[in-house]
Amino acid sequence: MVTSLESPVQYSLPLDDELIQINECIGEKISLHYTGEIHCIGCGRKTAKSYNQGYCYPCFQKLACCDMCIMKPETCHYDKGTCREPDWALQNCMQGHIVYLANSSGVKVGITRETQIPARWIDQGASQALPVFRVSSRLLSGKLEMVIKQQVSDRTDWRKMLRGKPEIVDLVAVRDEITQVAYSEIDYIINSHEKSDVSLLTAEIPVEINFPVKNYPEKVKSLNFDKTTEIEGLLMGIKGQYLILDTGVLNIRKFAGYRIRFSCENKY
C-alpha cells in the first residue's frame, strides 16, 4: 500500500492504474476476490507461484533485490565485484542509509535508505521512530545494526504489533544508553571509515505515528489468498501493511503481484 505520514496515516491501495483511498473504507464492509492470477512485479510475466513477495522464480534467481544480502546487509558483496546488478546496487545500496530505533511491538533497531523515511517506519507499524546514524552505504548500516542488535531486537512481533499500541518509550534515552554501552564497537566502525561516512544524529527527535485503527483484535488470525480466494469483513483499521478486519488480518505486501478485485460497501 502507498502511504502518507499524516495523523492518522493515509493509505492508498494500488489496483492496476487506480489508487483506492482505503482509509475511507474503515468502518465499512470490504471484499477482496483473488482471480487466481499472479504477475511478477519484476518482469510482469504470469507465474504460478510468488517468491519473495511478488517475483517469479527467474527474477528471484537473478535480481539483486532478491539476494540474501538484502536481508543481511552486513554481507553486502558489492565491493567484491560479485553483485548480480552493479548498476542497481549503485542506486540502492551505495546510497545514504539511516540506522534507526523504532517502537512497534517493542523497541527494535532497523535500517533503510534515507529516501524510504518515513515509509519504512509506517510499513513496520512503528508508533515511534528515531534516526540514530546516517551512513554512506547499506553495508555500513548493516555493520552498525549488528552492534546495536546486541542491545535491542532487530525484529517486529507482528502479532503483538497488531493487538494494540505499544507502551510509549523514551527512544532518545534508549539511543544514549546503547551508544554508551556499545561505544568501543561503534567507535571502531566509525574510525575504520572516512569521517563523512558515518554521522551520529544527536539532534533528532522521535517521530510519532498514528495509525487509522478503530478497534484492535483480541486474537490475531492471519488471512491468506493461497488458502481462499474470497476475503471479506468489516474493515476495523490499517496498520503497517495489514488490513485489520473483524474476520482476521491480511498482509497486503505478502500478496504483491496477485490480481485482486476489490469492493467497499457504499464506497467502491
pLDDT in tens, the chain (268 residues): 999 999 999 999 988 788 999 999 999 999 999 999 999 999 999 999 999 999 999 999 999 999 999 999 999 999 899 999 999 999 999 999 999 999 999 999 999 999 999 999 999 999 999 999 999 999 999 999 999 999 999 999 999 999 999 999 999 999 999 999 999 999 999 999 888 999 999 999 999 999 999 999 999 999 999 999 999 999 999 999 999 999 999 999 999 999 999 999 876 7
Rounded to 5 degrees, φ, ψ at 235 are -80, 110
Residue pair 120/71 in contact by the 8 Å Cβ criterion: no
The x, y and z cell numbers of residue 62, run together, are 537473478
In this prediction the pTM is: 0.93
Residue pair 86/78 in contact by the 8 Å Cβ criterion: yes
Residue pair 48/56 in contact by the 8 Å Cβ criterion: no
Domain spans, the chain = 2-54+212-264, 57-208
What span, in angstroms and rounded, lies between the C-alpha atoms of 141 and 99?
A: 6
Residue pair 258/15 in contact by the 8 Å Cβ criterion: no
pLDDT of residue 207: 98
Q: Residue 14: is the preceding peptide bond cis (ω within 30°)?
A: no
Q: Which amino acid appears at position 86 of this protein? A: P
Neighbours of 248 (CB within 10 A): 17
pLDDT of residue 266: 73
Residue pair 258/50 in contact by the 8 Å Cβ criterion: yes
State whether residue 134 is helix, strand or coil. Answer: strand
What span, in angstroms and rounded, lies between the C-alpha atoms of 80 and 217?
A: 47
User: What does R_g of the chain's alpha carbons equal in angstroms?
Assistant: 20
